[in-house]
Amino acid sequence: MKKIGKVIVILVWIAAIYLGATKGLWHILFAILALHIVEVFVKGLPIGKKAEKSVIYSILMTLIFGFTWWLPLQRELENK
């Protein structure tokens, strides 16, 4: 299930880039990026730190995958 979420997120990024490049709808890409930047500080870094992931890794994974990265990690930490 984790992989399906990540594949969907990658497809959303590709669609946003495509729509920006072909239709001028760059606001979609910027909205996704803004959401993920907020997620980095609100969830990605704190959960990554608890899971002993590096800061750079936590930032990159949250920027790329958003909640499909940190939510399963959070659930894993809660079940320990």
> Cα separation of 67 and 80, whole Å?
20
**Whole-angstrom distance, CA of residue 54 vs CA of residue 75:** 19
Per-residue pLDDT of the chain (80 residues; tens, 9 = 90+): 679 999 999 999 999 999 999 999 999 999 999 999 999 999 999 999 999 999 999 999 999 999 999 999 999 999 97
Residue 47: half-sphere exposure toward Cβ, Cα within 13 Å? 23
Residues 75 and 51: beta-carbon distance below 8 Å: no
pLDDT reported for residue 1: 65
Instruction: Give yes or no for a contact between 77 and 51, defined as CB atoms under 8 angstroms apart.
Output: yes
Q: How many CA atoms lie within 13 A of 79 on its CB side?
A: 6
